[in-house]
């Protein structure tokens, strides 16, 4: 068994303060809620003994709903009290429901969507934890698979672009799933302007099997899609948040070889 980098010996006693695990929280809608097998478990394996990875995905939620519930579950105390785990990383992944068309119950206007995301990023609790936020754009939709008329490929594209722009404005690392999925499906940035091609995923374009293989019902992810998210998320952390790469983080509690002498000395 390998040693964790810079893990320090921990000497438990009745006077020793608690040592909670720091947290990596996945915050979003049903795409996050349904990510246990495809994202939560692989991340938990990579961050094992270093951070707890928690799922705070809530099916059907929009950015507005996310902001409303944040104060109920995000730790109200700063991590300096030795009782509250520090939320070190958090993905912020809303927009798939916000992008439903006007008149639909979940619709959030585009300007309000970015405003709610901004309010979540600037939440006092997040500031007190010095949480590093990773924005995630809504993915494309496949109108050919959708059974309703509440979402369109072009409208979702606008919300993804707004999320990307917010990331640039706030200087936040942003996981651009819309562009990743669409590029795999054959889309190119100059398609619309130069070739006047209909947008992949819309019913004006032919069915796209690559996109269908990523979206199980036109909206939610297949295992292949979650694998893309997992790989891209770790790459983003490596590039933009290198201090949080799993192998660079110490164990919360030391390696058993380092701890052996301490435990032997206990009464």
Where residue 211 falls among pLDDT bands split at 50, 70, 90?
A: very high
Shortest CA distance to 91 belongs to which of 26, 37, 30?
26
- Which residues lie below 8 Å from residue 175, measured CB to CB, with a gap of 6+? 91, 134, 135, 136, 137, 229, 232, 233, 236
CATH 3.40.50.1110 given to domain 23-245: yes
The predicted structure's pLDDT at residue 76? 78
Mean of pLDDT values over 114-130: 96
- The rounded percent of the chain whose pLDDT value lies above 70 is 88
| Residue ranges per structural domain of the chain | 23-245
Higher pLDDT, 63 or 12: 63
Q: What is the pLDDT of residues 34-69, one digit of tens each?
A: 999 999 999 999 999 999 999 999 999 999 999 999
The predicted structure's pLDDT at residue 1? 42
Query: In terms of C-beta density within 10 A (0-12 exposed, 13-18 middle, 19 or more buried), how is residue 153 classed?
Result: buried
Higher pLDDT, 126 or 18: 126
Mean of pLDDT values over 136-142: 99
The predicted structure's pLDDT at residue 8? 55
Separation CA 137–CA 121 (nearest Å): 15
User: Catalytic site residues?
Assistant: 30
Mean of pLDDT values over 155-159: 98
Range name among 29-38, 142-151, 164-173, 204-213 with the lowest pLDDT average: 142-151
- The rounded percent of the chain whose pLDDT value lies above 90 is 78
Query: Is pLDDT of 70 > 90?
Result: yes
Mean of pLDDT values over 18-47: 96
Range name among 117-131, 201-215, 252-266 with the lowest pLDDT average: 252-266
Where residue 257 falls among pLDDT bands split at 50, 70, 90?
A: confident
Alpha helix segments (H runs only) across 77-222: 110-121, 124-129, 153-170, 177-184, 209-214
Separation CA 106–CA 62 (nearest Å): 7
Mean of pLDDT values over 160-167: 99
pTM: 0.91
Three-class HEC string of 196-220: CCCCCCCCCCCCCHHHHHHECCCCC
Higher pLDDT, 265 or 70: 70
Mapping DSSP to helix (H, G, I), strand (E, B) and coil, where does residue 67 land? helix
Please, what is the average pLDDT of the chain?
Answer: 91
Retrieve residue 212's tokens: 């269908």
The predicted structure's pLDDT at residue 197? 86
Pairing of strands 87-93, 23-28: parallel
């Amino acid at each position: 068994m390998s040693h964790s980098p810079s893990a320090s010996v921990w000497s438990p006693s009745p006077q020793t303060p608690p040592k909670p695990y720091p947290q990596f929280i996945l915050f979003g809608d049903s795409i996050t809620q349904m990510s246990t097998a495809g994202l939560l478990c692989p991340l938990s394996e990579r961050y094992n003994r270093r951070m707890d990875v928690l799922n705070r995905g809530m099916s059907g939620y929009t950015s507005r709903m996310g902001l409303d519930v944040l104060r109920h579950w995000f730790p109200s105390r700063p991590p300096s009290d030795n009782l509250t785990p520090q939320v070190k990383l958090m993905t912020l992944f809303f927009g798939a429901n916000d992008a439903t068309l006007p008149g639909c119950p979940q619709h959030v206007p585009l300007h309000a969507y970015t405003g709610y995301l901004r309010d979540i990023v600037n939440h006092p609790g997040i500031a007190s934890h010095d949480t590093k936020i990773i924005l995630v754009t809504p993915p494309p939709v496949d109108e050919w698979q959708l059974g309703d008329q509440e979402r369109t490929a072009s409208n979702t594209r606008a919300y993804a672009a707004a999320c990307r722009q917010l990331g640039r404005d706030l200087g936040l690392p942003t996981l651009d799933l819309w562009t990743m999925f669409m590029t795999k499906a054959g889309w190119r940035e100059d398609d619309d302007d130069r070739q006047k091609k209909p947008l992949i995923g819309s019913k004006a374009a032919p069915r796209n099997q690559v996109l269908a293989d990523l979206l199980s019902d036109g909206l939610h992810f297949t295992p292949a899609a979650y694998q893309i998210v997992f790989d891209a998320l770790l790459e983003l952390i490596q590039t933009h948040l290198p201090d949080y790469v799993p192998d660079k983080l110490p164990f919360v509690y030391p390696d058993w070889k380092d701890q052996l002498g301490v435990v032997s000395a206990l009464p």
